Structures are given as structure tokens and as C-alpha cells.
A and B are shown apart, each in its own frame.
Chain A
């Protein structure tokens, strides 16, 4: 069985500040990890993914995440927040290399203050 925990259902940062969204996973086998973003009234969009290889993964819109096996974490960061980053962010895991059974975390709503 696999699970995802996102610490903090709401995170608020000032424009230009560091964004850090936390994700911890549980998996019995090496996981594949994902971050998705959901803007209001839209579907989910893939930000980045980790499969194998380099543990620091870069995605779209300046986001990146680091896979830390020892900490079972896959935290999402961005050096400088923009107002347009305000959205809900979901971490997801699968250990099925067919990428079928995605398990999502509860989501973190990011608010960016001017």
C-alpha cells in the first residue's frame, strides 16, 4: 500500500518569498513521485515528476523538488513566489511502473500575498 501526506492544507507566502510545500510518502517499493497544480475551476496539470536518476527534479514555472529516500520526502520549492503561483498543489505517488494507480495527497492551497 502507498500513501501521501502533505503537511499544511494552506500555506501563505509573500510575493518574492521562498515557496516550500511539504510531501511525505509511504511506499513498500521505490516510488515514482509527482507534483500537480490545480488552478481554480481547472483540471490538474503536471508540474514535475521523479522516476529514477537525479534526485533533484526541475519542473515548469520555476518549481523543483528533491527526492530524499532517507526522509521519504519529496518537497516542492520555488525560490521566489509570484502572484500567479496561487493555486492548489497535489503530491502523488505510484509504485506501479505503468503509472496507473496514482495516490494523491490531500492538497496544499498556496496563497501569495502582494
Chain B
């Protein structure tokens, strides 16, 4: 398997623009997680899905952030409008309870977002 795939790897945008980050989980995984990593706050869970359904979005910082999972192989994290404080590395991770390894989250390489 190719692992968790994220795109783009790097994104530079201006304040006020819409940003969409994309994630393709490992095939067959039923959980998908979005994390944000910053120097100040470390790694934070933003939202997670189970079987494409959002389960907990309490980590989403504000209404400017939204996430969707239209099918089992694709998820997006959207920021609209973007602000400089959104600059961070955003990770997607997936796991599979059906395989018996639900505790093991597999991370993508991340998207480094810079908002100027």
C-alpha cells in the first residue's frame, strides 16, 4: 500500500484566501484523523471520522475550518478565509479496527501551510 497520501505537500497563500488540503487514507481503513502541528501548540487533533462520518470536531479551532469525507478514500480540510495564525503543518492519519490494529494510526507526510 502507498500509505496515507496528502496533497499538496506545501501551500503558500495570502491571508483571506480559501485553502483546501486533501487526504487519501490507506485503503480499508475506517478511521481518519486530521491533526495540526505548530511550535506553540504541538500536535492537536482537529477532527476525526469513522466510516466517513465525523465523530468529534471539538478540536476544530473555529468556523473558518471545515472538514468533509465524501467517501472512504478521500477527505478534505478547508480553511476559509485563511489567516497567518493558521500557518502550520497539517497531518492526516488513518487506522483500521477491522484489521485488529485500530490503535495504530498511520500518518501521512503532512501539508506545510504558510499564510502570508
Contact at A104–B103, with CB atoms within 8 Å?
no
Contact at A43–B103, with CB atoms within 8 Å?
no
Contact at A99–B107, with CB atoms within 8 Å?
no
Q: Is B56 an interface residue (CB 8 A)?
A: yes
Given the known A-B contacts A99-B102, A99-B103, A100-B31, are A41 and B48 also in contact in the complex, defined by CB atoms under 8 Å?
Answer: no
Q: Is B76 an interface residue (CB 8 A)?
A: no
Q: Which residue of A lies closest to B104 (CB)?
A: A46
Residues of B within 8 Å of A105, CB to CB, are: 42
Q: Which residue of B lies closest to A105 (CB)?
A: B42
Residues of B within 8 Å of A49, CB to CB, are: 103-104
Do most interface residues of chain B lie in helix, strand or loop, or is the interface mixed?
strand
Docked complex Cα distance between A46 and B104 (Å): 7
Residues of A within 8 Å of B33, CB to CB, are: 100, 102
Given the known A-B contacts A99-B105, A100-B31, are A44 and B56 also in contact in the complex, defined by CB atoms under 8 Å?
Answer: no
Interface 0/1 of A26-61, CB less than 8 Å to B:
000000101010000111111001010000000000
Contact at B42–A43, with CB atoms within 8 Å?
no
Q: Is B19 an interface residue (CB 8 A)?
A: no
Contact at B108–A43, with CB atoms within 8 Å?
yes
Docked complex Cα distance between A44 and B109 (Å): 8
Contact at A104–B43, with CB atoms within 8 Å?
yes
Q: Is B115 an interface residue (CB 8 A)?
A: no
Given the known A-B contacts A100-B48, A102-B105, A104-B42, are A43 and B56 also in contact in the complex, defined by CB atoms under 8 Å?
Answer: no
Contact at A43–B107, with CB atoms within 8 Å?
yes
Docked complex Cα distance between A90 and B55 (Å): 24
Q: Which residue of B lies closest to A90 (CB)?
A: B43
